[in-house]
Structure 1
Amino acid sequence: MSQHPSSRVQKAREALADRLREIRKDAGISGRELAVRCGWSESKSSRIGNARTPPSDADIRAWCRACTAEDQAPDLIAANRQSAGAHVEWKRLQRAGLRRLQESTGDLYRQTKTFRVYVSDVIPGFLQTAGYASALLTSIAEFRGTPDDVSEAVAARIRRNEVLSKGRRRFSFVLEESVLRYRMCSAETMAAQLGHLLGVLDLQNVAVGIVPLSDERDMWPMPTFTIFDDKRVHADTLDAASTLTQPSQIELYARAFERLSQQAVRGAAARALIADAVASLG
């Protein structure tokens, strides 16, 4: 099989093949012996080991079993499944406008029971008012040069956010205090947004923690990410949206969220930080 037309996907396949070869070498067996243990032709193990043929889930399990490394199979299978869609450029996602992007996550949001959200840049989408979302999405559309469907995108986001109050879902948010200070909109719109955030603190299924700017910390600020149950992570960068499904990746982000959460203040202390941000608007 020829290389995948996407260099990003091909690199992911090559990384997986490298890991499989390392497992074989650590087991001290040759490619021929691996093929015998798996019941394959020697050419099949060579094609998989050299990233010419993407392995199936069963192939990965057989490879790991032959190398007495069954514990590594779940991560490798997840890596194999996500290789084609783990990193998707925003340009591609937003090509048809922002409304479709808001609607594309609707099923995932409805299926998830526990959300863990860390933000270091803007108010979480779940908690945005229409005014704040409009200002933010307008900025994104202008920067990326996407079709101007901001009004429709805002309406779609507000509809999507109904999961906050429908069903038995739990939400845990950790915000950097800087999020309260970044002015993505007019003072009036920002005041309304912060007022809405104060109201969210009263919801029984929502926990909000804020990491104070002035406190000493042992976990650095990092790019925004969302953990959906214990099944996947969405981590965003300027150029791409990453979907991570490997158990080790999810565990890493869950550990980071826990550390950040421990540094956050809640209740009256969180309210005081929000009130101070409102007061700073003048």
Structure 2
Amino acid sequence: MPPGITPYDGTTLPDNNTADATNVHAARTALGRRLRDLRQSSGSSGREFAESLGWAPSKVSKLENGKQTPSDDDLRAWVLASGHASELDALLASLHTLELQFAEWRHLMRAGLRPQQEQLYEWDQRTRLLRVFEATVVPGLLQTGEYARARFEESVRRLKIVNDADEAVAARLRRQEILYRPGKQFHFVLTEAALRFRLCSIDAMLGQLDRLAAVSHLRNVRVGIIATETEYTVSPWHGFWMYDDRRVVLETFSAELDLRQPQEIELYSETFEQLAGVASYGRGARQIIGRVMNDLAAESDVPSD
């Protein structure tokens, strides 16, 4: 690769990272900058490059400045004309996920919470190995009805969307049938903090922790808990879900981020392995869960003034 040209990894984001339409434009602009780098490395001016492709110079300008989204054929022609055919796969992957990568929650949830659960159900069906890390909440596939209701009601308040929490809870519990499906493997890693955050009533949380301990006995489900006193090898910045080696999904307050670049998937796979490597499993995980349950039970027994 010529000096000054760095491999495009498709992960350039704007500084505010609000994951809305502005981010989509920023990602398109980043793709355009990459195309400009490739064109300039060939030694061609914009006009000369356009002439070699039989395009109007304005098209090259629009593509390089993020004013126009390229087609698959545009990218194929571009890498051949610039002498960088090896860049095609990465550029195509970026193009195909450009509009999918940032999805604003209000847009996703405009029809309510239940439809989104049904979309997740479809991904559950297609996935053989699901890896999940959560630092602050219990994953949806492991939630009790009460805990799930608290999460959905929070979303309704925060996003000001249609309140179909009852239907969403039913859909989430229906999704959990996948845990008992032959041929499926699940690996969940949670921080102890996720078990202690007061995101619902103490009674609801006790039921949730009991459920978590029970699920940890399933043969095709691994539940790892990272104790509070554990020294991390990688910072637990945020939760994420990995669907085989095809897709990584993470959530912000405003949006869902959908990552499908090979480099991104590899990075998250390595991150998951490091987090899983410091977690406790089996009896050790259940001891941590039991410790939290004992603390909560003791607190619930304290009479109020």
Whether the TM-score (by the shorter chain) exceeds 0.5 is yes
Q: Are 1:273 and 2:288 counterparts?
A: yes
Q: Percent sequence identity over matched residues?
A: 40
Q: Partner residue of 2:77?
A: 62
Q: CA separation of 1:58/1:161 partners in 2, compared to 1, >3 Å: closer, same or farther? A: farther
Look up the match of 1:133: 148
Q: 1:113 to 1:33 in 2, by over 3 A?
A: farther
**What amino acid is aligned across from residue 168 of structure 1 in structure 2?**
G
Aligned equivalents of 2:265 and 2:80: distance in 1? 24
| Partner SS for 1:281 | helix
User: Structure 1 34/204 Cα, relative in aligned 2: closer, same or farther at 3 Å?
Assistant: farther
Deviates more, 1:169-178 or 1:68-77: 68-77
Q: How far off its partner does 1:64 sit?
A: 2.4
Equivalent residue, structure 2, for 1:110:
125
Deviation at 1:179, TM superposition (A): 0.7
> Match for 2:238 among 203, 223, 232?
223
RMSD, aligned CA: 2.1
Long gaps (5+) in structure 1: 1-5
Change (3 A) 1:209 1:61: farther
Are residue 99 (structure 1) and residue 114 (structure 2) matched?
yes
Q: Secondary structure at the match of 2:100?
A: coil
1:83 is paired with a residue whose SS is helix
Matches within 5 A, 1:78-227: 78-227=93-242
1:34 Cα deviation after fit: 4.0
Q: Which amino acid aligns with 1:90?
A: W
Taking the aligned partners of 2:55 and 2:35, their CA distance within structure 1 comes to 15
Deviation, 1:50, is 2.9
Letter in 1 for 2:152: L
Q: Distance in 1 between matches of 2:215 and 2:267?
A: 28
Report how far residue 143 of structure 1 moved.
2.5
Per the TM alignment, residue 270 of structure 1 is displaced from its structure 2 partner at its CA by 1.0
* Alpha-carbon contact 2:217-2:282 (below 8 Å) kept: no
1:162 deviation in Å?
Answer: 1.7
- The TM-score, its normalising length taken from structure 1, stands at 0.90
User: How far is the alpha carbon of 1:195 from its aligned partner?
Assistant: 1.1
Equivalent AA in structure 1 for residue 217 of structure 2: D
- Letter of the 1:155 partner, please give it: A
Query: In structure 2, how many angstroms separate the alpha carbons of the residues matched to 1:67 and 1:217?
Result: 44
| Aligned mates of 2:153, 2:168 — CA distance in 1 | 10
Q: Secondary structure at the match of 1:105?
A: helix
Distance 1:233 1:119 in 2: 13
In the alignment, structure 1 residue 239 sits paired with structure 2 residue 254: yes
Equivalenced residues, count: 278
Residue 236 of structure 2 aligns to a residue in which SS?
A: coil
Provide the rounded CA distance (Å) in 2 between the counterparts of 1:53 and 1:186: 50
Alpha-carbon spacing, 1:37–1:246, altered in 2? closer, same or farther (3 Å): farther
1:21 aligns with 2:65: no
1:28–1:270 distance in 2 versus 1, CA, 3 Å: farther
TM-superposition CA deviations, 1:174-216 (whole Å, max 9, x none):
1111011112222222111111111111111111211121122
Displacement of 1:9: 2.8
Letter in structure 2 aligned against 1:172 = H
CA distance in 1, matches of 2:152, 2:189: 22
Flag the 1:174–1:71 CA change in 2: closer, same or farther, 3 A: farther
Q: Given the superposition, is the C-alpha separation of residues 75 and 183 from structure 1 closer, same or farther in structure 2, using an over 3 Å criterion?
A: same
- Cα distance, 1:44 vs structure 2: 3.9
Q: Structure 2 regions of 5+ residues with no counterpart?
A: 1-20, 298-305
Which residue number corresponds to residue 3 of structure 1?
Answer: none
Deviation track 1:70-103 (CA, whole Å, cap 9, x = no partner) reads 3332222122122222111112222222112211
Deviation at 1:106, TM superposition (A): 2.1
CA deviation vs aligned residue, 1:119-170 (integer Å, no higher than 9, x gap): 0111000111112111221222223222221111100111122222224111
